[in-house]
Structure 1
Amino acid sequence: MADAKGKSRRLILLIVFIFVAGIGFAGLFNASLSATNEMEFCVSCHTMETNYLEYQDSLHFKNPSGVQATCADCHVPKAFLPKIATKVIAAKDVYHEIMGTIDTPEKFEEHRWAMASRVWKKMERSDSRECRTCHEFKNMDLSEQGRSARSRHARAEDKGQTCIECHQGVVHEMPREPRVKDDG
């Protein structure tokens, strides 16, 4: 009988330990996700300096309304599973920074077209999900936009276009397309 009580207590202690450890893990995991979404983290790699300077020249950084979109607002989904997938994929950028593939502004520029193209394709696949957090067609007051923007946004909505189809290079400068080598 005493042995059964001892096993029961150990089981309860084990369950309590697993529960507390789970809460601790969840807290640390959430804290690390939050920390890696901070602007300071994003621009801590010196190859991001150019991107940060371009961003500071954009309306996403400074504008009449005072609303600022940060790196994570545009590059990290809000929903949990897409956020985790994005973080896992972004780990390769950290890897390439550490391994020296993109650790200088020159090397970064050499790979910039390919990296930007991957981001654009991801945005097309997600229907510019992160853009639409702030820029949803149904929330636009087209009458307040210039004539060109008003007609283009109306057409884009009718065609079911996504933001990135027209707005590449809005925050970051357009990268140079790699030159095709002429074998002739």
Structure 2
Amino acid sequence: MLLWGGFNWSLELTNTEAFCVSCHAMRDYVFKEYKRTIHYNNRTGVRASCPDCHVPREWIHKVVRKVQATNEVYHWLRGSIDSPQAFEAKRGVLARQVWSAMESTRSRECRNCHDIEFMATTRQSN
């Protein structure tokens, strides 16, 4: 039981914005851009944080995503992205990986907040 509790505790600990931006690559490159988006700052004050968009809510899908993230930890330990230039060189590949994951789940994490049935699409800009 203690092992199970520790496992769930670690899942939740790593499921916070603070954890995500503790890595310099996220804090110094991605987070700065995110802070200029509507998901961070908007007229309603509702914010989507890193796990809202990048970590599934369902437990088994969350565990699978966390296992996949061990590859990111490996590259962080290796120092694969240790400069703005290194980040820019890998940016396209990293973005395509995220987009591919979102497409494979039909944007499941987006749909946790967004519901096409209630969108006023005529009031949206392109």
Q: Please give the TM-score of this superposition, normalised by the length of structure 1.
A: 0.64
User: What secondary structure sits across from 1:50 in the alignment?
Assistant: helix
Of the three residues 124, 127, 130, the one matched with 2:106 is 127
The one-letter code sitting in structure 2 at the alignment partner of 1:128 is S
Tell me what 1:29 maps to.
7
Q: Please give the TM-score of this superposition, normalised by the length of structure 2.
A: 0.91
Of the three residues 96, 115, 122, the one matched with 2:94 is 115
Identity %: 44
Tell me what 2:74 maps to.
95
Distance in 2 (CA, whole Å) between partners of 1:111 and 1:81 is 29
Cα deviation, residue 139, structure 1 = 2.4
Q: 1:96 to 1:66 in 2, by over 3 A?
A: same
Q: Indicate if the aligned counterparts of 1:96 and 1:103 stay in contact, CA closer than 8 A.
A: no
Structure 1 portions without partners, runs of 5+: 1-21, 150-184
Of the three residues 8, 24, 38, the one matched with 1:46 is 24
Structure 2 portions without partners, runs of 5+: none
Tell me what 2:34 maps to.
55
**1:106 maps onto 2:106 in alignment:** no
Larger radius of gyration: 1
- Deviation by residue 1:15-67 (Cα, 9 ceiling, x = unmatched): xxxxxxx2x12221111111101111101111112110101100101111110
Q: 1:103 to 1:94 in 2, by over 3 A?
A: farther
Query: What do you get for the CA RMSD once the two structures are aligned?
Result: 1.4
Q: After the TM superposition, which segments of 4 or more aligned residues of structure 1 sit over 4 Å from their partners?
A: none
Cα deviation, residue 101, structure 1 = 1.3
Distance in 1 (CA, whole Å) between partners of 2:67 and 2:49 is 19
Count of residue pairs brought into register by the alignment? 125
